[in-house]
Amino acid sequence: MSLKELNIADGEFDMMKYYSIGMKLDDVVKDKEQEQVILENIRRCSNIVGKWFKVVFWHVKLTEQECKDFVKRNEHLLFEINTKITKRFINVWFLIDSKNEKSHGRYRFEGDILNGIVEYLKIINHMKKRDG
């Protein structure tokens, strides 16, 4: 596969080539119990989608230390799945947007993260049934 086919820009893969799911890290870390439920659901998504899965967390108001603490708490799971943590927003295939921000994804869910993951899985399961 050539670099042109992979659509590499700025040294990164185009997130639209993955069945990537994006969410705001600020919303994930605000409740530690909820954080674990969200991450277990992300693991489930990764197991269903396989090698084409990627989760993108972007943050707005978190400090570097808060991001490091999140990684340290969850490093076992974050290294098990394809993960990207960034300060700038990256276009993703499926966006979960709780604050109606000006961000883009092929599919977009406005609401809380857990309901967004449920909708993501509905689309993935529909596509799997459709494609056999």
User: What is the spatial distance between Cα 127 and Cα 132, in angstroms, rounded to a whole number?
Assistant: 8
- What span, in angstroms and rounded, lies between the C-alpha atoms of 77 and 40? 8
pLDDT reported for residue 17: 72
22: CB partners within 8 A, 6+ apart: 15, 55, 56, 57, 58, 89, 90, 92, 94, 95, 96, 103, 105
What pLDDT was estimated at residue 11? 42
pLDDT in tens, 85-126: 999 888 899 999 866 565 566 788 989 999 999 999 999 999
